[in-house]
Amino acid sequence: MEYIPASTIVSRTKKPGNWFGIEYNMNIYKGCCHGCIYCDSRSSCYRIGEFDVVKAKQNALEIIRDELRRKSAGVIGTGAMSDPYNPYEKELLLTRHALELADAFGFGMAIATKSTLITRDTDILSDIAEHSPVLCQITITTSRDDLAEKIEPGVPPSSKRFEAVRRLADAGIFTGILLMPVLPFLEDSPEDIRELVRMAEESGARFIYPYFGVTLRQNQRDWFLEKLQETFPGQGLAEKYLERYGSRYRCQSPRARTLFGILQEECEKRGILWDMKDITHAYRKNYRLM
């Protein structure tokens, strides 16, 4: 593991409260080796060289301890730029120890991951939930394992991620699904969305937060289109993207409205939340934090 210098690790969000009510962002690792073909974090605007090589921030736990000691309590989000449960975390335990610090200093946590390793930390997440909000967001972009293995090659298949949702939910931790991106022409079938909501219900998910499309920019677009050709040869998917979206940033599924309608209807039937305001209210409502 390569270590890189860092002066800050926990920073105030630009618009506190906007994204699941999170007040702080924390990235202990830089880069990600999960290899999702659509990953936005590899865009050159973030200036992360060698994105696929995971690096850890030097003295991360000392820096986090010092920062939490000086900050007012709030919910810390992690997982936006790099998965906090990459394969190295199994040995390094940096995310786990950071959760212990959040617990000790009275902070809440909102974690986004595609890894089932998060279930290892169920005990600490439960401890945090004793005093502060905890939100686990497991990203699942398709109900189909065969498809997930192709577009997210470095993480467990969707069915294993649903199992992780089940384990966290069984422990009483507020857990749901980030359904994003939903890749146009690949993952945007009404059947897949219906099946995904059904599996979410079975696993005890409290919410599904969707984006029916994908964002593409700069070098990330080129990488994605190349990967589409490599992974799905002969299907003309890259051509379809270029024809429909050109160099557009937001590439919404042509079926986005229909899919959103299906998601709302299926979720409401099952008591699963899908609206950001409702999700944020629900996971924070029993706490007097902030």
Residue numbers of the site for ligand SF4 (CB under 6 A)?
A: 32, 34-36, 39, 41, 82-83, 114
Least separation in angstroms between CB 18 and ligand SF4:
20
In the complex with ligand SF4, which residue's Cβ is closer, 129 or 241? 241
Alpha helices in the chain (DSSP H): 60-70, 89-92, 94-104, 122-129, 145-151, 158-170, 190-203, 218-231, 237-245, 256-270, 276-284
In the complex with ligand SF4, which residue's Cβ is closer, 132 or 220? 220
Whether residue 181 is preceded by a cis peptide bond, meaning omega within 30 degrees of 0, is yes
Q: CB within 8 A of 82, min separation 6: which ones?
A: 27, 29, 30, 31, 32, 41, 54
In the complex with ligand SF4, which residue's Cβ is closer, 84 or 133? 84
Q: Which amino acid is at 166?
A: R
Least separation in angstroms between CB 82 and ligand SF4:
5
Nearest-angstrom CA–CA distance, 179 and 269: 18
Least separation in angstroms between CB 33 and ligand SF4:
7
Instruction: Identify whether the C-beta of residue 57 lies closer than 8 Å to the C-beta of residue 110.
Output: no
In the complex with ligand SF4, which residue's Cβ is closer, 79 or 133? 79
Least separation in angstroms between CB 165 and ligand SF4:
16
Least separation in angstroms between CB 181 and ligand SF4:
9
In the complex with ligand SF4, which residue's Cβ is closer, 53 or 104? 53
How many angstroms separate the first and last alpha carbons of the chain? 37
